[in-house]
Chains A and B, each alone.
Chain A
Amino acid sequence: MSTREMTMVEALRDGLRLAMRGDPAVFLIGEDLGVPGGFGGGFTVTLGLADEFGHSRVMDTPISEIAILGAAVGAALVGMRPVAEMQYGDFVFCGMDQVVNQAAKMHYMSNGQVSVPLVLRLPVGASARGAQHSQSTEAWFMHTPGLKVVCPSNPYDAKGLLLSAIRDNNPVVFLEHKLLYGGKGGRKESSSAARVTGVPEEDYEIPLGTVAVKREGTDLTLLANMLMLHRAMEAADELARRGIRADVIDLRCLVPLDMETLTASAKKTGHVLIVEEDNLTGGWGAEVAARLSEAAFFHLDAPITRLAAPDTPTPTAPALEREYVPSVERVVETAVRLLAG
């Protein structure tokens, strides 16, 4: 396999291109995706794709989230594989009925007569834009049976998971953290984590329902996704300097969730710290903590602990956002306290 250094934006674009070349049923629908001279979607992911696939398959829509999501559901019902984009993940709430009442339930309500193979791409995460452009929304979708939830942390995973998601026969909510895009040009995030990795140019799939063990240790299990995975990894470096060896697991897919790997790690280390950017109450970490307490309680030496965004809307000012989003330092402090008992 030949690999190329790619940002997450490039990896996602590459995945979309391969999916569209391979299957005429795949098309993109959303705002500002293919307008000549435009943005290429909210974060340039679809830039240039209209040149290859035309403006029918890179379908620009009015600012109509209900229509984007509803049309994606309808097209999926008749055999298409739409990839719908919300310019910001927060805007999905304008059309939430189409996700929760329609996409998620059609297969079930019809007793399997129809399926809804669509991908819903949502840029998420805090990036100094304030409460209506910054939410981490994974728990909203985790709670709804019938939706798969994917949240990659790096370009390699993003491409492989996106290809799997597009070919899956279910609605897949695909979250992309804005600070991980590493986008080039005018819409690059100044505070971007800008992770560039080697990504195969070929078509490959990473199965949904998998987590990735990023680092192995014996003392502590750190569970994180998207941007928080990078903070957990940095924290694990610092903890190692202090003699604490951590398992770090990337929950790159929340539904289905590989509880087996998480449980094995929890039993091995006896200490679990969950790091998440969504709000504490009812976040994905709450569900993982509950399941782990049932599966590994007698192997735990301390309460499962969550480090999450507080139960406030996402503030805008950089100084406030720094307080809101869990930092590397706070991960280290919380881990040390957890291990001290």
Chain B
Amino acid sequence: MRKLAGIPLETAREMYRRMVLIRRFEDHLYALFLQGTVPGTLHQYQGQEAVAVGVCTALLPDDVIFSTHRPVGHFLARGSSPRGIAAEILGKASGCAGGKGGQMHLTDVSVGAMPSNAIVGANIPIATGAALGFQLRGQDRVAVSFFGDGASNTGAFHEGLNLAAVKAAPVVFVCENNQYGASTPISSMLRITDIADRAAAYGIPGRVADGMDVLAVYQAALEAVERARQGDGPTLLECKTYRYAGHSRGDPGGYRTREEVQRWRERDPIPLMRTWLIKERGLAEKEADSIERTCQSDVEEAVEFARNSPEPAAEETYRHVFAEGQ
């Protein structure tokens, strides 16, 4: 673990809490899914918590994030309500998008979380545009685009990074390299080891961070966010991480070995941070346990809320096709 001597205990504890909240939320949702109560599909975030939490902790309230088809971690890290997310995933009227979005399309503008995007790579130029908007308005805000290793092979990645680079847009590109695009190992789809190396092609900094170490991610993100906010342009930040779950529902992960999964699990970001908090910052074991219990009950309460919420009325189908007015 990185030793971020300056980090306030309160901040570090909150990072831990958010990582635990994400893990418990995703585990609980998976259990619901196995019971057959989750409509559609699930793309889960277990294993990658340090990336979402490390990056979002480096942001200010006015900054915006653009997430992916695997958005729960980013939204909880940004402070979105577990109730709204759970209800959205269960297709309820009380969901953060009224049931019109679903698992892959969460939105919560109250925490600067723009519509999450289920088209791989598409949010890269969109985040760039948001950053250009901030720049044109002279606003001191930063946009973050989260995407996976697979997205780095799309045309949108190339076009978005290049445009952001030539305009010095205040945007941070966070590549969560979880080693697989669906079932395909990224190593067979790239001739380079570090996706961050691609930054050189656009004349911007490329950084690699240990995506299992929330403090390492946080420190790298702070630098990238600061650089963007100061008008020095974008950074490509690659976080090496791993998703424990399958790509989506019903994916048993037959394309990877048990040993490989185990190797990554040994560096699970949550126990790593717990140990650091206890050993380096004197957090009491009891307090760490209490954080975990609270997260568990928060998740259970949120899911209960979602289950008890009404479904959207049929006429909602026709609302919000067009925005009103000028």
Interface residues of A (CB under 8 A from B): 24-25, 27, 56-57, 59, 61-62, 64-67, 69-80, 82, 97-98, 101-102, 106-117, 145-146, 148, 167-170
Query: In chain B, residues 113-128, which have Cβ atoms closer than 8 Å to a Cβ of chain A?
Result: 114-115, 117, 119, 122, 124-128
Contact present for B114 and A111 (CB under 8 Å): no
- B130 close to chain A: CB less than 8 A: yes
Query: In chain B, residues 6-38, which have Cβ atoms closer than 8 Å to a Cβ of chain A?
Result: none
Contact present for B122 and A101 (CB under 8 Å): yes
How far is it, in angstroms, between the C-alpha of A182 and the C-alpha of B156 when the chains are bound?
35
Instruction: Give me 21 A-to-B residue pairs in the complex whose CB atoms sit less than 8 angstroms apart, sorted by A's number.
Output: A59-B132, A64-B162, A66-B125, A71-B126, A71-B128, A71-B163, A74-B128, A75-B130, A75-B132, A78-B134, A102-B119, A107-B323, A110-B97, A110-B100, A111-B99, A111-B100, A111-B320, A113-B108, A114-B114, A170-B322, A170-B323
In the bound complex, residues from chain A placing their C-beta under 8 Å from that of B320 are 107-108, 110-112
Contact present for A70 and B101 (CB under 8 Å): no
**Contact string, B123-141, partner A, CB cutoff 8 A, digits 1/0?**
0111111111111110000
Nearest opposing residue in chain B for A71, CB measure: B129
What distance in Å separates the Cβ of A258 from its nearest Cβ neighbour in chain B?
A: 16
How far is it, in angstroms, between the C-alpha of A108 and the C-alpha of B319 when the chains are bound?
8
What distance in Å separates the Cβ of B312 from its nearest Cβ neighbour in chain A?
A: 9
How far is it, in angstroms, between the C-alpha of A179 and the C-alpha of B133 when the chains are bound?
34
Q: Which of A70, A80, A98, A148 sits near B133, CB closer than 8 Å?
A: A80
What's the tally of chain B residues with a CB closer than 8 Å to chain A?
48
What distance in Å separates the Cβ of B94 from its nearest Cβ neighbour in chain A?
A: 11
Nearest opposing residue in chain B for A169, CB measure: B323
How far is it, in angstroms, between the C-alpha of A106 and the C-alpha of B66 when the chains are bound?
12
What distance in Å separates the Cβ of B16 from its nearest Cβ neighbour in chain A?
A: 30
Contact present for B97 and A67 (CB under 8 Å): no
Known contacts A107-B323, A109-B97, A109-B100; A75 and B133 CB within 8 A of each other = yes
- B159 close to chain A: CB less than 8 A: yes
What distance in Å separates the Cβ of A68 from its nearest Cβ neighbour in chain B?
A: 8
**Contact string, B152-190, partner A, CB cutoff 8 A, digits 1/0?**
000110011011001100000000000000000000000
- B98 close to chain A: CB less than 8 A: yes
Contact present for B124 and A70 (CB under 8 Å): yes
In the bound complex, residues from chain B placing their C-beta under 8 Å from that of A167 are 326
**12 new A-B pairs (CB below 8 Å) besides A62-B163, A74-B133?**
A66-B159, A70-B129, A71-B125, A74-B125, A74-B131, A75-B132, A78-B64, A78-B133, A98-B125, A107-B321, A111-B96, A111-B97
